[in-house]
């Protein structure tokens, strides 16, 4: 017997690319936190609960390299470093808000 042929849906390359960045733990939360405006490293660490300094530093570098976050050094005194979203990063904020809305309705968090 011949089985009916079904077309296999291929994951879009752009979706794959987006999740190569957004699928990493903490990246979405960092972008969401910066959606409220620029923050210092310390303020980001407080906002993104549970992230270590080393991981936050690594993720900020990745997001900067991806063109989603800008790192700015303010000469001061005192010298201060702040992070803010680029235009591309700001475009993600409503997408993350929609994802959060979807999760509140459709995902159930079970206690461990």
| DSSP string across 17-70 | HHHHHHTSTTHHHHHHHHTTS-EEHHHHHHHSTT--HHHHHHHHHHHHHTTSEE
pLDDT score, position 110:
79
Contacts of 66 by beta carbon, 8 Å cutoff, 6+ apart: 21
Q: Please, what is the end-to-end C-alpha distance for the chain in angstroms? A: 48
pLDDT score, position 66:
96
Q: pLDDT tens, 93-109? A: 999 999 999 999 999 87
Residue-wise burial string across 54-68, b where 16 or more C-beta atoms lie within 10 A, e elsewhere: eebeebbebbeebeb
Q: pLDDT tens, 38-67? A: 999 999 999 999 999 999 999 999 999 999
pTM confidence score? 0.83
């Amino acid at each position: 017997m011949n089985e009916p042929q079904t077309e296999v849906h291929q994951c879009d390359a752009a979706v794959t690319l987006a999740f190569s960045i957004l699928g990493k733990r903490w990246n979405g939360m960092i972008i969401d936190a910066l959606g409220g405006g620029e923050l210092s490293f310390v303020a980001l660490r407080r906002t993104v609960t549970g992230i270590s300094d080393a991981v936050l530093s690594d993720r900020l570098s990745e997001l900067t390299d991806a063109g989603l976050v800008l790192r700015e050094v303010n000469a001061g005194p005192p010298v201060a470093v702040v992070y803010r979203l680029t235009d591309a990063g700001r475009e993600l904020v409503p997408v993350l808000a929609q994802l959060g809305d979807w999760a509140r309705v459709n995902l159930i968090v079970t206690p461990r």
